[in-house]
Amino acid sequence: MTPKEALRQQIDALDEELLTLLNRRQALAQEIGRIKNQEGTRTLDFQREEEVISRLLHKNPGPLTPKALRNIFREIISAAREIQGALSVAFLGPEATFSHLAALKKFGHATRFGPMTTIQEVFSEVEKGKYQYGVVPIENSTEGVVNDTLDRFAETPLKICGEIFLEISHDLLSKSGQRQDIEVIYSHPHAYGQCRRWLATHLQDMPIIEVASTGAAAQKAAKNPNSAAIASAAAAALYELRVVERHIEDNPGNVTHFFVIGPDTPGPTGADKTSIIFSVDDVPGALYRTLRPLAQRGINMSRIVSRPVKTEAWRYRFFVDLDGHQEDPQVAEALEEIKSLSPWFKLLGSFPKATETEELS
């Protein structure tokens, strides 16, 4: 037996041990699922899942990388959820959009995913209970906030229960893979905005047709041999397209922030965010006074965005993310004070912070 064959024999033996251990883990997860059904609690427990992965990352001696460990246990946990009860997640479709890829990163492949045609439909299907959770884009590091998502948060009863940061890389795809065949490009407006300089340099004056998502762009290009799509690399394989040019985004550090929406708020993990919306009176210093309770308690405000109130001209709502959980005493006090100072206030929920930006690969 050669040294390589001996090492492979050891790997085979370890794989058999892993198989036995994984099945033992699944059996325990199945029993926990029975208890959850008796208690009437949900299959998905964001707080517990974050604790499991954080504990393993802390104990990991290597050479297994943190990224590899997270990816492996994401799928193990996804399989455990499946055995407890099918989990359903809506996203802005079709398949191979960045919303779909973000959902896969968060929930794993052992999940029933539902592609929706609009962000509003994602909210609506989760509100109706047809899907347990939804994944929606909230902000891109290049193009800014996604207004459709912000506007829906002012109206929905749903809560924010998780977040995903996903790196974004756009490819130019077509049936032939030849630039000279392209007569028109299909693109989502945000994708076009993220590739504007490259397109102006290499395909100047090329007609751009707006579509609802990068996945829809790939679908269109698959049906039209004289067109191209700005989409993810995953879309090329799914829709049988060829790459004309890779990585056409103008900013190589391009990241999109997604929220997970659902009917309830996870419990505190010790590393959480809270999101709120509020309006202020039209008087000098109103916004300063409304946010002062955060500064007085040393609570960090990680994001603030304004949006006009559609029913009142020149009136605005402010969307704020802050560090901490709504059950933390200092945060709870600050929220109560902000609420008392605001003509209109809404708590969107608390959720575990994303610890890293997910890579596409």
Res. 43: pLDDT tops 80: no
Confirm if 77 and 44 have CB atoms less than 8 A apart: no
The set of residues, in sequence order, having a beta carbon less than 8 Å from that of 244 and lying 6+ positions away, is 171, 172, 173, 174, 177, 178, 179, 182, 228
CA atoms within 13 A on the CB side of 62: 2
Q: Cα(315)–Cα(57) distance, rounded to whole angstroms?
A: 46
pLDDT of residue 103: 95
pLDDT of residue 150: 92
Q: Where are the beta strands (DSSP E) in the chain?
A: 88-92, 112-116, 133-140, 144-145, 159-167, 171-174, 184-187, 208-210, 227-231, 242-245, 255-262, 272-279, 301-308, 316-323, 345-352, 357-358
Residue 305 one-letter amino acid: V
Looking at the predicted structure, is the pLDDT value of residue 314 above 90?
no
Q: How many CA atoms does the CB half-sphere of 116 hold within 13 Å?
A: 22
Instruction: Work out the pLDDT band at 49, boundaries 50, 70, 90.
Output: confident
Map tokens 């009142």 to a residue: 312
60 vs 15, 17, 53, CA distance in Å?
A: 19, 19, 10
Residue 167 pLDDT > 90: yes
- What pLDDT was estimated at residue 46? 80
What is the pTM (predicted TM-score) of this model?
A: 0.86
pLDDT tens digits, residue range 236-254?
A: 989 999 999 999 999 888 8
pLDDT tens for residues 273-306? 999 999 998 888 999 999 999 999 999 999 999 9
How far apart are alpha carbons 83 and 74 in whole angstroms? 15
Residue 104 contacts residue 93 (beta carbons within 8 Å): no
Rounded to an integer, what distance in angstroms lies between the CA atom of residue 77 and that of residue 44?
A: 10
**Average pLDDT, integer, range 15-31:** 94
Rounded average pLDDT over 6-35: 93
Q: Is the per-residue pLDDT at 113 higher than 90?
A: yes
Mean pLDDT of 152-180: 95
Instruction: Give the pLDDT of residue 61.
Output: 93
Residue 82 has pLDDT above 80, yes or no: yes
Query: For residue 257, what are the contacts with CB-CB under 8 A and spacing of at least 6?
Result: 137, 138, 139, 140, 141, 163, 164, 165
Position 42 scores a pLDDT of: 74
CA angle 235, 241, 244 (to 5 degrees): 100
Q: Is the pLDDT assigned to residue 331 strictly greater than 90?
A: yes
Distance of CA 271 to the CA centre of its chain: 18
Rounded to an integer, the average pLDDT of 333-360 is 93
| Helix/strand number for the chain, H first, E second | 12, 16
What confidence category does residue 356 fall into, taking pLDDT thresholds of 50, 70 and 90?
confident
Q: What pLDDT is stored for residue 48 in this prediction?
A: 85
Q: Average pLDDT in the 304-327 region?
A: 89
Quick one: average pLDDT of 3-16? 94
Q: What is the pLDDT of residues 126-155, one digit of tens each?
A: 999 999 999 999 999 888 889 999 999 999
Summarised one tens digit per residue, pLDDT across range 204-233 is 989 999 998 999 999 999 999 999 999 999
| Percent of the chain's residues with pLDDT above 90 | 74
Q: Which domains does the chain have, with CATH numbers?
A: 16-34+44-84 (1.20.59.10), 88-168+257-261 (3.40.190.10), 171-245 (3.40.190.10), 265-352 (3.30.70.260)
Going by C-alpha positions, the residue among 68, 73, 42 that lies closest to residue 161 is 42
* CA-closest candidate to residue 154, choices 26, 17, 276, 19: 276
Query: pLDDT-derived band of residue 84, with 50, 70 and 90 as boundaries?
Result: confident
Average confidence (pLDDT) over 20-46: 86
User: With 90 as the cut, is the pLDDT of residue 337 above it?
Assistant: yes
Among 166, 147, 347, 356, which residue's Cα sits nearest to residue 264?
A: 347
For residues 145, 147, 152, 153, the Cα torsion angle rounded to the nearest 10 degrees is 30
**342: number of Cβ within 10 Å:** 19
The overall average pLDDT reported for the chain is 92
